[in-house]
Amino acid sequence: MEVKGGRELIIAMPVEIERKFLVSGTQWRQAQGIPYSQGYLNRDKERTVRVRIAGAKAYLTIKGISRGAARTEFEYEVPPAEAAQMLELCDGPILRKTRYTLQYKGFTWEVDEFLEENKGLVIAEVELRAEDQPFERPVWVGREVTGDPRYYNANLVVHPYREWRGKDGSV
């Protein structure tokens, strides 16, 4: 909240509303993928601070705690050379993946194909304006994993997919 001229102004924090799903098949491979490298400067359960290099661009992102499919998110573009130096400061290994962006029935879907320690994991995300906003899933979108902390990128850094895959019979 900010007070200006004797009046209170309420400044809304940016909110990301995102739903995540496991992916099956290969029909999503129609787009050109972009290599991503990302690490975490903070992985506290109340907030994460991430640095990401996505192709020729780089970002510093601060995310709040997830409440359902929503959480606060602040993202700032930073020079790629500085992001590369920040990656060296990260706690834990660097997460690597290839991201594919596709349009389907009015929605943008981002498909992440994870590499290295998380190879074999493919997750699709769709951002919404409201948690209950209706949308149609492409045929390659499978089981929803929104809210399952195993699939959070910050957790995949320290608990990679290859370590837990198949242990509970659900993946």
CB 73 within 8 A of CB 16: yes
Instruction: List, in order, residues 6 or more apart from 116 with CB less than 8 Å away.
Output: 96, 160
Pick the CATH number of 15-164 from 3.30.930.10, 3.30.565.10, 2.40.320.10, 3.20.20.70: 2.40.320.10
* 99-to-30, 47, 89 alpha-carbon distances in Å: 12, 23, 24
Instruction: Verify whether residue 59 is a known catalytic residue.
Output: no
Structure pTM? 0.86
For residue 1, the model assigns a pLDDT of 43
**Alpha carbon of residue 160 to chain centroid:** 15
From 36, 40, 152, 161, the catalytic residue: 40
Q: Which residue type sits at 128?
A: L
> Which 3 state secondary structure label does DSSP give 86?
helix
Question: Per-residue pLDDT for the chain (171 aa), expressed as one digit of tens each?
Answer: 444 555 665 666 688 899 999 999 888 988 899 999 999 999 988 899 999 999 999 999 999 988 878 889 999 999 999 999 999 999 889 999 999 999 999 999 999 999 999 999 999 999 999 989 999 999 999 999 999 999 999 999 999 999 986 655 455
